A and B are shown apart, each in its own frame.
Chain A
């Protein structure tokens, strides 16, 4: 027991953990080029361990890159070199963010508890370390508790839901009731398994014939695009160009799927191509009822609604550099008739109903996408709910004051010692 305590409180452990953290952050950053920002976070920072297959082949691929450059090898060498390191089983090889984070917290708390004497000289150190523990725990809480999604509106639109950044869903909407739509939503992750889907609310079952994680839809066969071969609907004649999943920050994969509906007897009712990011009003008529089909960004319904009154997008004169995005909005709780109007712009969010609405700056490709609906201006908001948002603020005040305190002691001590030789 004593042995364990002495390890847990040791500075040596701190240093090992700091070194491993530095390396982890480095690997996790490199991994973003391979896996994309989100997946890299999950694999490296939001996990207890990093697995061999996520780390070693990636490092091998960088080495392969260098070898290709130095020895003027065929560019294909890189891929085969890195593939040579892929293992059949998944074994943990490096500590992940959660493990290192917890170990750091334990080490910090244990070491402070063991060594702390409450003196003026040590007050700085205590503040720094309490702050850092708070920061680590706060980040964990944010990971677990916060939600982020987007609201995308055209001028004049009102919405009572936000849309997920990454997740998509196949929505089958029964519009027969004029008051309320009946929605069956199938998460993309289920589509990706390509299993047959049925639901008691639906008089048919869904077979996923094709699924593309990220795809461009084209009018004609360009490059490696393949015909989707749908028998019905708006995208009947479209071609699908499969793409690697999106990796850059603020860009998302737009999946597509070819689905076939079959009735209870197993007879085909036709097949439809559905694609995220494309608004189609495909309707399947089954048993005299209309069912709207759409593959859309997963929706999170709210107990309020937000209307976009006016969207402004200014550029610097004579350039394409965005100068300002601003939106005039109106918000209203479902439970209350009261409305509120305000302007949201860059660096000036709206905090309301437990959510924070941030004006989102569109990237070039998004703007281009938007131009398909050029007639109306549009705006996007990041909708964030983060109950632990305040922890980093407290933490950083603690650490900042502590650091100044601590180094202040050092600096003044140093200056006092040096004084005679300067004079």
Chain B
């Protein structure tokens, strides 16, 4: 038994590590090679990405999930029907067999009035396109009205309408990206179109010249085709067709609808159009062999002329499958539980296992971070989503460093808890769609992104770590007897050291931001909300440090001030982004604003607890009863 507990942390780490590695094996395709298809590159949102990413990001916006699972139950609650689709399988269904896809309840609708407007059941949460179509006109009129309202004045109902409108746009976008529901047999349609071009154009020219005897049937066939393609071009922004020459034309990819229309104007047929049509037709008829062979043909074409794009597609698809941030979070949660267990029953194996699990989690977290940087060709923080991931990463490292010195599971709890929360925040931020969107022109500078943004974000992370150390101080002191003198001093020293880090990083980061602004706009300081937020962190951290140096606060005072630092940081991180929404009416029903308020209120409550007289603290009770004199000393030292 002893030997077991001695080595348990290795066993646990090995089990978790092996599990992670096992998830990395590329999924094999039986029949239609969906996973292979998912790696094909397309251009969307200004960047090359695989179909797999298109699938996941679309489904996130429509259903808030990356995959589609669904079950039907009868009155007795027994499952009568069950289906599980990966994002990719769902995407291919939407593109190639839209009738089947239209019957899948993928649209998540939460607002009851939106359901009411569409005549949908209030109890259900997910609905199929088929159910939405009958009342679409009515919905569309209302939704476009909401779109005209300034975003800060929109009601939750408006937001619900717009969310569904966006979901529908995403859905129609992929539906029209390769072929159209109006085309019964894509390959035949392509052949017929190619045949109709010459006679159709001749007829059109003749008609324009005023001749009476032009071939009306040929003209109508061509116009019929073009009508469908025009609709595809209007609905879809996915650019699926690569340029004829990768070298000369760079990112000049085109949408399928536009490509086909260009062919009527004399543009030559791109082989990829043929291959996609073949894949669409054979997916519909269920001919796996022919589908796979068309897919292989297209891959061969890409392998010849579009090596870079094809590689990017494969890499990003692998990254999606790796799900590093989701998986590292599993490590963190497990470690958090073990760390808490150590506090209740101090058993070294739990602490050690937690430490190594966080270490492994950090390795995966780091791998994900680096992978993202390679895919984007950018420093780690480019938007709010990646800032959450990076704050988590920085906090985990700081926590592990503390644990290395103090070995009392405090570092473990801090690392795993902040890691866990920030990754959950990141997940919720990812629901907005593509998290690797392109940078606006003014932000398009890797130098400043790498210095200012990274350092300021590390400052956020350090301030949070200090704040959570302080929370542990208050919680353990007030609710348990675990705040012994040693723990107290240790926590105090940790908080102080991390606050020094936080001050350094936030100050340097903020000033670098000023220099960036001076270089790009000609003003060092513009009192912009985000700048002000960073400044507040600097001021607050400076205040805490001075208060401690001046002896105005001792251990408890430092803890309370550090917890307030959490509020200041959360405000800078999110509050300033919500300034437009949050401060106008209705804004605070917005879910982000609600969570921020919730966080701030929770911190305020902890501060209140921290301010309660020490005689109410569990950790000081025993001493207070047994030796009143000693308690007086403690009080003096703690004030």
Closest Cβ neighbor of A66 among chain B residues: B588
User: Does A267 reach chain B (CB closer than 8 Å)?
Assistant: no
Task: Assess whether B23 is interfacial by the CB under 8 Å rule.
Answer: no
C-alpha spacing A66/B535, complex, angstroms:
26
Q: A303-345, CB under 8 A of B: which get 1 and which 0? A: 0000000000001111101111100000000000000000000
Contacting pair A78 B585 (CB below 8 A): yes
Chain B residues whose C-beta falls within 8 Å of the C-beta of A86 in the assembled complex: none
What is the number of contacts between chain A and chain B, taking CB atoms within 8 Å?
A: 182
**Which residues of the other chain, A, contact B583 by a CB distance below 8 angstroms?**
30, 33, 62, 65
Give complex CA distance A78, B586 in Å.
Answer: 11
| Residues B468-502 near A (CB distance < 8 A) | 493, 497, 500-501
For residue A25, CB closer than 8 A to chain B, the reply is yes
B residues whose Cβ falls under 8 Å from a Cβ of A: 43-47, 237, 239, 251-253, 255, 404-405, 437-438, 440-442, 444-445, 448, 493, 497, 500-501, 503-504, 507-508, 511-512, 514-515, 518-529, 532-533, 535-536, 539-540, 542-543, 546-547, 549-550, 552, 568, 571, 576, 579-580, 583-589
Cα(A159)–Cα(B523), bound, Å: 23
Among the stretches A15-23, A204-212, A274-282, the one at the interface with B is A15-23
For this complex, 28 residue pairs linking A to B, each with C-beta atoms less than 8 Å apart, are A12-B550, A15-B546, A18-B539, A22-B540, A29-B527, A29-B529, A29-B532, A30-B579, A32-B527, A32-B529, A33-B584, A69-B588, A78-B585, A316-B45, A317-B43, A319-B438, A321-B45, A322-B441, A323-B444, A325-B441, A346-B445, A347-B448, A349-B522, A392-B518, A392-B524, A396-B515, A411-B497, A414-B493
Q: Is A294 an interface residue (CB 8 A)?
A: no
B-chain residues with CB within 8 Å of residue A410 when the two chains form the complex: 497, 500
- The answer to whether the Cβ of A301 comes within 8 Å of any Cβ in the partner chain is no
Q: Is the CB of B550 within 8 A of A11?
A: yes
Give the contacting residue for B587; candidates A65, A319, A411; CB below 8 A: A65
Is A33 in contact with B533, judged by CB distance below 8 angstroms?
no
A21 CA to B589 CA in the complex, in Å?
A: 30
Assess whether B442 is in contact with A414, with CB atoms less than 8 Å apart: no
Establish whether residues A21 and B500, one from each chain, have CB atoms under 8 Å apart when the complex forms.
no
Interface residues in chain A, defined as those with a beta carbon under 8 Å from any beta carbon in chain B = 11-12, 14-15, 18-19, 21-22, 25-26, 28-30, 32-33, 37, 40-41, 45, 62, 65-66, 68-69, 75, 78, 139, 142, 146, 148, 249, 315-319, 321-325, 346-347, 349, 356, 358, 361, 382, 384, 386, 389, 392-393, 395-396, 399-400, 403-404, 407, 410-411, 414, 418, 421-422
Closest CB-CB distance, B527 to chain A, in whole Å?
Answer: 5
**Do the beta carbons of A65 and B584 come within 8 Å of each other?**
yes
Residues from chain B with a CB closer than 8 A to the CB of A319 are: 45-46, 237, 438
Contact of A403 among B44, B442, B448, B503 (CB under 8 A): B503
Q: Is the CB of A382 within 8 A of B522?
A: yes
Residue of A whose beta carbon sits closest to that of B533 = A29
Query: Which residue on chain B has the smallest CB distance to residue A46?
Result: B527
- Known A22-B540, A66-B588, A403-B504: A29·B46 in contact at CB below 8 Å: no
CA distance A381 to B438 in the complex (A): 24
Closest residue to A383 on the B side, CB-wise?
A: B522
Instruction: A322 to B46: give the CA distance in the assembly, Å.
Output: 10
A322 to B45, CA, bound (A): 12
B43 and A318: CB pair below 8 A?
Answer: yes
Smallest CB separation, A96 vs chain B (Å): 13
Q: Are A347 and B519 in contact (CB under 8 A)?
A: yes
- Give A77 Cβ to nearest chain B Cβ, in Å: 10
Contacts A33-B584, A392-B515, A400-B511 known; list 13 others, CB within 8 Å.
Answer: A18-B539, A30-B583, A37-B526, A316-B45, A316-B46, A318-B255, A322-B440, A325-B441, A347-B444, A396-B512, A396-B514, A414-B493, A422-B405
Q: How far is the CB of A241 from chain B (nearest CB, A)?
A: 15
